[in-house]
């Protein structure tokens, strides 16, 4: 099967109480680590490319790698999503380029303006069988050039279920990233965060069956932060969203969970370890390889946290 959009994945995820992992890719090793994990665990997959990733690696290279992923794994449903498209033009380019999902993030604009832009993207994308994710409310932290509210203020900027209902009905959007207390980056919080499960529940009551998306949902796994700090890095006080909270949200209306920071940490930790233990190492395969293995192990674990391991067949 070729690339798919996320319709069936979200339908099954909602119905059966799990979430699909959406992993950001920047290069070959990261992509291989992810797909090896997904293939072994038989999970559906969303790969994401941000505008930053496109600038770094060029879309043509990333698309070629993803095409190989699809060809070599006919049993795994794979969707490809633009992460944080900033305007209609960017989203249009990615739709024209064969992406099966685009996110339009006009959340920094006034509510009515966000509706207008999102609606325009939905119209263009739906005519081409591409699904659209939008964003409402203010997420915390910094993700590439996406700057949100201060990490410790995320609790004050939660999504308003009343607005969510109006937004979804007016735009016809397929899924929505809502602020429920998560935050982008590796320094999400100073103390353990509480996700707003009541907000998720209320949205689910008002919009039964409508899929929500969690951004900024890496757990900033201690194992990798400790390795980074042990081998010459400096990431004190890094903190993410606890996995039990991610797991709980996945059983509710959350159908897509974005993971980027945890991939970066796994790769960085392993490379640091190799360089520290073998200062003479200069073969990229000898440090990128272990990094790729670490990503694979981390993703396999995540698929169980999200509950989507073993669900590839039902999402086809």
Shortest separation between residue 68's beta carbon and Zn ion, angstroms: 26
CB of 45 within 8 A of CB of 3?
Answer: no
Whether 174 sits among the annotated catalytic residues: the reply is no
Shortest separation between residue 184's beta carbon and Zn ion, angstroms: 6
- Pick the closer one to Zn ion by CB: 54 or 215: 215
Compute the distance between CA of residue 149 and CA of residue 266 in angstroms, rounded to an integer. 26
Shortest separation between residue 58's beta carbon and Zn ion, angstroms: 21
The string over 182-213, giving b where at least 16 C-beta atoms fall within 10 Å of a residue's C-beta and e elsewhere, is bbbbbbbbeeebebbeebbebbbeebeebbbb
Cα angle 183-194-82, degrees, rounded to a multiple of 5 = 30
Task: Dig out the tokens for 37 from the structure.
Answer: 């994990």
Compute the distance between CA of residue 86 and CA of residue 26 in angstroms, rounded to an integer. 19
Shortest separation between residue 49's beta carbon and Zn ion, angstroms: 12
Compute the distance between CA of residue 46 and CA of residue 26 in angstroms, rounded to an integer. 14
Shortest separation between residue 86's beta carbon and Zn ion, angstroms: 12
Choosing from 36, 75, 83, 244, the catalytic residue is 83
- Pick the closer one to Zn ion by CB: 36 or 143: 143
Compute the distance between CA of residue 77 and CA of residue 70 in angstroms, rounded to an integer. 8
Query: Where along the sequence are the contacts to Zn ion (CB under 5 A)?
Result: 143, 215
Alpha helices by DSSP H, listed for the chain, are 7-16, 28-41, 51-57, 59-72, 88-96, 111-126, 161-171, 197-206, 222-230, 243-251, 261-277, 284-306
Strand duo 20-24 + 183-184: pairing: unpaired
Those residues with Cβ within 8 angstroms of residue 191's Cβ, 6 or more apart along the chain or in another chain: none
Q: How many residues does the chain have?
A: 316
Q: Which residues are catalytic?
A: 83
């Amino acid at each position: 099967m070729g690339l798919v959009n996320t319709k069936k994945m979200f339908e099954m995820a909602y119905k059966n109480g799990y979430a699909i992992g959406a992993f950001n890719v920047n290069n070959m090793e990261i992509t291989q680590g992810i797909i090896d994990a997904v293939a072994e665990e038989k999970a559906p997959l969303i790969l994401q490319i941000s505008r930053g990733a496109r600038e770094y690696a060029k879309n043509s290279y990333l698309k070629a790698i993803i095409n190989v992923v699809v060809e070599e794994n006919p049993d795994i449903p794979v969707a490809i999503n633009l992460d944080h498209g900033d305007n209609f033009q960017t989203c249009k380019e990615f739709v024209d380029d064969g992406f099966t999902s685009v996110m339009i993030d006009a959340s920094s604009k006034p509510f009515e303006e966000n509706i207008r832009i999102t609606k325009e993207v939905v119209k263009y994308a739906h005519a081409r069988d591409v699904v659209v994710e939008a964003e409402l409310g203010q997420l915390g932290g910094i993700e590439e050039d996406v700057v949100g509210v201060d990490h410790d203020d995320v609790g004050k900027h939660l999504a308003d279920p009343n607005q969510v209902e109006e937004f979804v009905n007016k735009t016809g959007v397929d899924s929505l990233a809502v602020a429920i207390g998560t935050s982008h980056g590796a320094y999400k919080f100073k103390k353990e965060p509480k996700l707003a499960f009541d907000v998720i529940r209320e949205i689910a009551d008002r919009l039964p069956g409508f899929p929500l998306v969690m951004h900024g949902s890496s757990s900033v796994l201690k194992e990798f932060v400790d390795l980074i700090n042990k081998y010459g890095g400096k990431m004190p006080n890094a903190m993410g969203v606890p996995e039990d909270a991610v797991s709980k949200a996945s059983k509710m209306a959350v159908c897509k969970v974005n993971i980027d920071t945890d991939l970066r940490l796994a790769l960085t930790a392993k490379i640091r370890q190799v360089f520290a233990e073998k200062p003479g190492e200069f073969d990229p395969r000898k440090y990128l390889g272990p990094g790729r293995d670490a990503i694979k192990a981390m993703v396999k674990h995540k698929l169980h946290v999200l509950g989507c391991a073993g669900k590839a067949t039902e999402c086809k």
